[in-house]
Amino acid sequence: MVVIPAGLFAIGLYGVLSRRDLVAVLASVEIMLGSATLLLVSLATRLGTVDGSTAGVEAIGLFVLVVAAAEAAVGLAILVTVAYRVRTTRVDELVEVKG
């Protein structure tokens, strides 16, 4: 029950720490967020509530998916802006921040 989300989170964490491309880092963050959502929904359906309803947890899971989609849209917008201005998407080449 906890093994698959933990494994997915570990894969995402490894991707964030080891990748040098912004697209791969963004994808790894999405994997980590998806694994947390999977853990939340699987624990809620396994444990249940007093009345047996899991509608509240499923609503929270849906909300997390909507937030993940918004985060991906903002992350891709930032990625496109960085790629346009700096002409690279490599993390180690982005050394200067200026307005």
Give the separation between CA 59 and CA 41, rounded to whole angstroms: 10
Contact by Cβ (8 Å): 91, 22: yes
| pTM tops 0.85, yes or no | no
Q: What is the pLDDT of residues 9-36, one digit of tens each?
A: 999 999 999 998 989 999 999 999 999 9
Q: Which CATH class is domain 3-93?
A: mainly alpha
Query: Hey, is 96 helix, strand or coil?
Result: coil
Q: What is the pLDDT of residues 52-94, one digit of tens each?
A: 677 777 788 888 889 989 999 999 999 899 889 888 888 888 7
Chain center to CA of 86: 25
Contact by Cβ (8 Å): 37, 31: no
Checking if the pLDDT of 45 tops 80, the result is no
- In the chain, what are the domain boundaries? 3-93
